[in-house]
Chain A
Amino acid sequence: MRPHTVFALILLAFFGVVIVISLGYDQRDKLFPLIIAIPTAFIAVVQIVEEVRARTKSQVVPDEKQVARQGVFRGYGAVLGWIAGLLVATYALGLLIGFPLFTFLYLKLHRVGWLLSITLALAIAGLVYGGFAIAFEMPLYKGLVFMLKS
């Protein structure tokens, strides 16, 4: 199944869930959402039918395209990994360490020089501490590791 169709199916499922959930709400709470959700779900069904019809017309996927797709997926996997890494680092070590650490590691592993990597990581730390903690008096998230320690 094409990713386009999968995405349209996910949207249809969402519209379906909204319709089902709405039925249990108060009359005034469900009226407007249902006016929106029902026609949108219908449009989604039409879209999926069109997607499937277009798919059956062009069944064969050339080998080069398959290989290119695998490369693209690997790229997305790496991006997903970095974003997950950012979230984990921030969650575990807090904003003040997590953000600069992520910046430094990302830059260093993309072959950026030591000086620029360290400078930008320190600039991020400065922005978090100086700009947000001091200037805006924002309480910074300390991170799970430091919260458990204390």
Chain B
Amino acid sequence: MFADIATGLLSTLEPMVLLYILGGVIFGLVLGVLPGLSGITVIVLLMPLCYNMTAESAIPLILAGYSVTYQGGSITAVLLNVPGVASNAATLLDGFPMTQQGKSGRALGITLTASPLGGILGVVILASVIPVIRPVVLAFTSPECLMLVFMGISLIAVLGRGSMRKALMAAGLGLLFSFVGFSSITGMPRYAFGVTYLWDGIRTVTLALGLFAVPTAVSLMTTGGTIAQVSGQVATAVPDIIEGIRDVFRHWWLFLRSSAIGCLIGAIPGVGGEAAVWLAYGHAKQTSKHPEKFGTGCVEGIVAPESANNAKEGGSLLPMLAFGIPGSLGVAILMGALLILGIEPGPLFLQESLDLTFAMIGVVVLANIIGAIITLPAAAKMARIAFAPGHILAPLILVLVSLGAYAIANDMMDVVATFIFGALGYSMEKFGYSRATFFIAYILGVLAERYFHLSLAAYGFMFLLRPIALTLFIITMLSLFSRPLGNVLRRIRSG
């Protein structure tokens, strides 16, 4: 086991791997600074490259880009009061007041230290949990894995924002989309509607590009104007930045607790990053000796959400690597990229590819360090990107999306399909259907069907009565029906 860990970690220090990490970091930071373009956009735009790259080069590029998005997002949150990524919103509360007080350098120093260190701590926690979780993973056979898939999807549907009914419809739609193409059971084509293009199934990249990148471009095209609607102070001084770095170490205990909160929340599918940062912020306020200072430029108010923000990514990798269940949308898309590369995360993955698991952990650590080194001196300049007008970015994103779609198989049909999925993604966003639930269900659909048939073949319908499977089934049902049942009980009580 230790040999695998050492091999995995050392592989990230190879020059070519470092180069890909650097490329991913720069791409992730630039897109992170741009409000509206999240880590998801980073992976989605990089995903087409998976078809032309080996796993050794694609994983560092994509994972590094995804890992540092939150660092980029913190910059605009602090300097411009505009969160680059939704989960940077909690940083605004104390980050921007600090900037207004002329302490932007100090605020940046805090965010750009707490965020990468939180990210590193998150994966360190993940790495330390892996040896413990391996025996647990071995207890999971196909019925348990099937129930775990359903539990993951239902938790994401129930705990996500908006209507649960719409989220369940989105989940059903995602599962059905995954069945398009040749059946993995009999080899017969299904749901192709006479279209030969669909025989190979719906391509993950076209779907991801359409669902997430096209609506972003459309939003930029319809709203116009600059992305950041405010004029911000972008001046920072080096001594202030150093003071901010010291602040994180002065509040090391809060940093550790917030990172642990982030990691734990990140590991629960469906709870999401935004919950993690707000919980950490709330915890910091509750345990502070001076809670009244929160919201006025308080150091702890930046340390807590920033450390939780990046730490949650380490946590969300855990259920994907151990069980094949992504903890967040970003990780779901990452899992899609891994599947394209021929890597199937799940119980067997931890057994057979421990070196790769630790290589991924090493990439996240290195990306965070490189990201911090790049951002600390360049933060003020990077923040100016947020003033780029939407009508300049929109055509560039559309062209990149089209190019990415075409690169999958050199087929113009993929470009057309991407825009059709774009229309679906935009409509889902507009009408409140969770695209995250849809995409996660789509990713897990094929696995679910395979586990279902394996369970049936091995145990018949009695597979539901296996202890762990039954427990997971009950949890799934409780999560699905607790809210409607609660409503009914409340109505009965109120007469």
Contact = CB atoms under 8 A, between A and B. Distances in A.
Interface in B155-185: 163, 165-166, 168-169, 171-173, 175-176, 179, 183, 185
A28 B419 CA distance: 33
B452 interface: yes
Interface string A1-12: 001100110010
Contact of B431 (A4, A40, A76): A4
A91 B392 CA distance: 23
Contacts of B173: 11, 14-15, 40
A145 interface: no
A93 interface: no
Nearest to B185: A28
B77 to A, nearest CB: 28
A4 B429 CA distance: 11
Interface in B205-234: 218, 221-222, 224
Contact of A124 (B221, B224, B399, B406): B399
B169 A47 contact: yes
Interface residues of B, number: 49
Nearest to A76: B222
A36 B175 contact: yes
B395 interface: yes
Interface residues of A, number: 55
Given A87-B415, A87-B419, A102-B399, A110 B391 contact: yes
B416 interface: yes
A79 B188 CA distance: 39
What is the interface of chain A mostly: helix, strand, loop, or mixed?
helix
A136 B407 contact: yes
B448 interface: yes
A122 interface: no
Nearest to A3: B431
A46 interface: yes
Interface string B441-458: 000000011001100000
Given A87-B416, A106-B394, A127-B403, A139 B453 contact: no
B176 A36 contact: yes
B168 A102 contact: no
B402 interface: yes
B52 interface: yes
Interface of B: 52, 163, 165-166, 168-169, 171-173, 175-176, 179, 183, 185-186, 188, 190-191, 218, 221-222, 224, 389, 391-392, 394-396, 398-399, 402-403, 406-407, 410, 412, 415-416, 419, 422, 427, 430-433, 448-449, 452-453
27 contacts: A7-B433, A14-B176, A18-B191, A21-B190, A32-B453, A33-B176, A33-B190, A37-B172, A40-B172, A43-B169, A46-B165, A47-B165, A47-B169, A50-B165, A82-B398, A83-B422, A90-B402, A91-B412, A99-B399, A102-B398, A107-B391, A107-B395, A110-B391, A116-B392, A120-B392, A124-B396, A136-B52
Given A7-B431, A95-B406, 12 more contacts: A7-B433, A28-B183, A28-B185, A32-B452, A32-B453, A39-B172, A43-B168, A46-B165, A75-B222, A110-B224, A116-B392, A141-B406
What are the nearest 9 A-B pairs in CB distance?
A: A40-B172, A106-B395, A110-B391, A32-B449, A75-B222, A36-B175, A99-B399, A136-B52, A7-B431
Interface of A: 3-4, 7-8, 11, 14-15, 18, 21, 25-26, 28-29, 31-33, 35-37, 39-40, 43-44, 46-47, 50, 72, 75-76, 78-79, 82-83, 86-87, 90-91, 95, 99, 102-103, 106-107, 110, 112, 116, 120, 124, 127-128, 132, 136, 138-139, 141
